[in-house]
């Protein structure tokens, strides 16, 4: 028989133990510091990463192309100040191979960064050849691509009676200024803020589900092996105990998640912080509230799974080997949610946002990137609630049998039989 009073007692015990534990305090404080630290360190590395001293040998089959490239390159500050050292030579395709052999030693000893060969055909297809010890140097590509393109465009139109301004326009890239169209608002310019928010939501869900889930599993294993569970079951039923543990840990998780989201909440509710114009974060408190509700339901669902695994095994090592199916239920939606940044309205993302377990992670990522109809948000919540109750019933049967069993490690076939036991 389910007892609300006893369940509340277990919830209070879980909240007291979890909220005052060192691991909770450390992870609550450490994760934001870790995330900002990683971003700061990455920014530091990018600022410290230097391509100063890069030496390039530009080789062209066409004197005209070579002259235009030299003219374009000499207008750039990083070449004028010697940051990049570029030399120019005219050679045809037949001479290229012997030239590469001559310079092979310089390329391998880093005396020469790269040789760029521009064939006659580049005036038709804009394909050039890059020879280097490091042929995947994106920094060099990004700096030189537009410059070479402008020189090729200028050469192509040189005898076609176009003005210099028209030639420069032809060489410009197309820039996309993105605007979100919604049902009840005017079109608003979209920045990178929501892309970052989508990744943040996805990462926090992924990390928290695994962190609190494994914590729950280890707590159940510890209570089982130390015989504490026998004392607890003398004053409450296994259903009361499991319900209290899941709800207590779930509430703890929501408190922790709310603390992690405080900087985001401050960004969208106050004007204390001024964001760059291209950041343009489009979130509101309704989305934060939905995220927390969705997270609470999803967390309780996975806590039920982790608790049942903890009840099956007698030690952490066996339990770790038994959680891989649960980990797949978290990892696969995580990777799907990450891909939503490319196209959040793709069929895969739409379907995944309604699939049990997957919906918990994918729907929050999707709703930050596109306007999701209200009925779809509610449908996802209903699916998650139905999933929770289904898992809760199955986990309860495993928990009540497994929590008092010790000794021989049960097979999965034996665990399935536990569903039929009557108590």
Q: What is the CATH number of the domain that holds 130?
A: 3.40.190.10
Please give the average per-residue pLDDT across 292-304, as a whole number.
Answer: 95
Give a yes or no: residue 184 inside a domain: no
Nearest 5°: phi and psi at 420? -90, -10
> Of 131, 146, 174, which residue constitutes the final position of a domain?
174
Range 271-284 average pLDDT: 68
Which pLDDT value is given to residue 422? Answer: 58
Phi–psi pair at 237, nearest 5 degrees:
-80, 165
Token output for 389: 């109750």
Question: pLDDT of 86-133, one tens digit each?
Answer: 889 999 888 888 988 998 888 888 888 888 899 988 888 888 888 888
Q: In this structure, are 232 and 378 located in the same domain?
A: yes
Do 169 and 197 fall into the same domain?
Answer: no
Whether 163 and 219 share a structural domain: no
Which of 174, 200, 222 corresponds to the end of one domain? 174
The rounded percent of the chain whose pLDDT value lies above 70 is 87
Listed residue (358, 367, 379) closest to 206, CA to CA: 358
In this prediction, residues 142-159 reach a mean pLDDT of 82
pLDDT, tens digit, 9 for 90 and up, residues 160-192: 777 777 767 766 666 665 666 556 666 555 667
Same domain as 269, residue 346: yes
b vs e for 326-335, b when ≥16 Cβ sit within 10 Å of the residue's Cβ?
beebbebbbe
Statement: residue 329 has pLDDT above 80: yes
Q: With 60 as the cut, is the pLDDT of residue 29 above it?
A: yes
Whether residues 16 and 121 share a domain: the answer is no
In a domain, 341, yes or no: yes
The segment with the largest mean pLDDT, out of 90-99, 278-287, 374-383, is 374-383
75 with 138, same domain: the answer is yes
pLDDT at 357: 94
Domain that holds residue 322: 4-33+192-420
Residues 360-382, mean pLDDT to the nearest whole number: 93
Average of per-residue pLDDT values in the chain: 83
Among 17-31, 281-295, 353-367, the least confident range: 17-31
Same domain, 198 and 170: no
Domain shared by 363 and 219, yes or no: yes
Domain membership flag for residue 48: no
Q: What is the residue whose two structure tokens read 């020879």?
A: 131
- Is residue 296 located within the same domain as residue 366? yes
pLDDT at 260 over 60: yes
Does residue 239 share a domain with residue 213? yes
CA atoms within 13 A on the CB side of 293: 14
Residue 71 has pLDDT above 70, yes or no: yes
Give the sign of the dihedral formed by CA 19, CA 27, CA 325, CA 229: negative
Determine the distance from the C-alpha atom of residue 179 to the mean position of all C-alpha atoms in its chain, rounded to a whole number: 23
User: Is residue 42 in a domain?
Assistant: no
Alpha helices in 49-137 (DSSP H): 63-73, 77-80, 93-108, 122-125
Q: What pLDDT, on the 0 to 100 scale, is given for residue 223?
A: 85
Give pLDDT, residue 178: 61
Q: Is the pLDDT of residue 362 over 70?
A: yes
Specify the range with the lowest mean pLDDT, choosing from 81-95, 264-278, 302-316. 264-278
Asked whether residue 73 falls in the same domain as residue 13, the answer is: no
Q: Which band of pLDDT confidence, cut at 50, 70 and 90, is reported for residue 391? A: very high
Confidence of residue 202 (pLDDT cuts 50, 70, 90): very high
Domain limit, last residue, from 140, 174, 208: 174
Asked if residue 181 belongs to a domain, the reply is no
Q: Over range 278-294, report the average pLDDT.
A: 85
Which range in 52-56, 90-94, 146-150, 271-275 is most confidently predicted, on average pLDDT?
90-94
Q: Which residues contact 10 (CB under 8 A, 6 or more apart)?
A: 232, 236, 240, 241, 243, 244, 245, 248
Assigned domain for 82 exists: yes
pLDDT at 60 over 80: yes
> What is the per-residue DSSP string for 383-401?
HHHHHHHHHHHHHHHHHHH
pLDDT band at 240 (very low <50, low <70, confident <90, very high): confident
**Mean pLDDT across the stretch 133-148?**
80
Whether residue 47 is contained in a domain is answered as no
What is the pLDDT averaged over residues 213-240?
85
Is residue 140 very low, low, confident or very high in pLDDT (cuts 50, 70, 90)?
confident
Number of domains present in the structure of the chain: 2
Quote the CA–CA distance of 354 and 139 in Å, as a whole number: 41
Using DSSP bridges, classify how beta strands 54-60 and 84-90 pair: parallel, antiparallel or unpaired. Answer: parallel
């Amino acid at each position: 028989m389910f007892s609300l009073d006893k369940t509340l007692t277990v919830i209070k015990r879980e909240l007291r133990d979890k909220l005052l534990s060192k691991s909770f305090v450390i992870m609550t404080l450490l994760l934001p510091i870790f995330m900002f630290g990683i971003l700061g360190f990455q920014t530091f590395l990018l600022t410290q990463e230097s391509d100063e001293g890069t030496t390039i040998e530009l080789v062209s089959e066409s004197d005209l192309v070579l002259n235009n490239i030299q003219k374009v390159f000499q207008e750039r500050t990083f070449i004028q100040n010697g940051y990049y050292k570029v030399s120019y030579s005219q050679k045809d395709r037949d001479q290229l191979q012997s030239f590469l052999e001559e310079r092979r030693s310089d390329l391998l000893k880093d005396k020469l960064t790269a040789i760029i060969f521009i064939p006659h055909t580049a005036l038709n297809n804009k394909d050039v050849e890059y020879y280097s010890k490091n042929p995947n140097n994106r920094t060099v590509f990004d700096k030189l691509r537009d410059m070479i393109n402008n020189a090729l465009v200028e050469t192509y139109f040189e005898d076609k009676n176009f003005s210099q301004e028209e030639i420069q326009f032809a060489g410009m890239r197309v820039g996309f200024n993105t605007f979100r169209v919604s049902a009840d608002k005017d079109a608003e310019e979209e920045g990178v803020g929501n892309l970052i928010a989508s990744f943040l939501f996805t990462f926090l869900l992924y990390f928290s589900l695994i962190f609190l889930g494994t914590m729950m599993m280890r707590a159940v294993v510890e209570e089982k092996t130390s015989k504490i569970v026998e004392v607890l079951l003398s004053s409450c039923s296994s259903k009361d105990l499991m319900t209290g543990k899941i709800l207590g840990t779930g509430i703890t998780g929501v408190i922790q998640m709310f603390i992690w989201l405080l900087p985001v909440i401050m960004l969208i509710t106050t004007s204390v912080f001024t964001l760059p114009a291209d950041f343009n974060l489009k979130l509101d408190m309704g989305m934060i509230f939905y995220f927390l509700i969705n997270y609470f339901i999803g967390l309780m669902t996975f806590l039920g799974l982790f608790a049942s695994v903890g009840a099956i095994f007698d030690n952490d090592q066996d339990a770790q080997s038994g959680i891989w199916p649960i980990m797949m239920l978290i990892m696969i939606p995580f990777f799907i949610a990450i891909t939503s940044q490319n196209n959040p309205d793709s069929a895969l993302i739409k379907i995944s946002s309604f699939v049990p377990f997957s919906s918990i992670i994918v729907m929050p990522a999707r709703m930050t990137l596109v306007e999701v109809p209200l009925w779809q948000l509610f449908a996802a919540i209903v699916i998650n609630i139905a999933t929770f109750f289904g898992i809760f019933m199955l986990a309860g049967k495993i928990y009540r049998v497994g929590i008092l069993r010790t000794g021989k490690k049960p097979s999965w076939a034996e665990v399935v039989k536990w569903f039929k036991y009557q108590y």
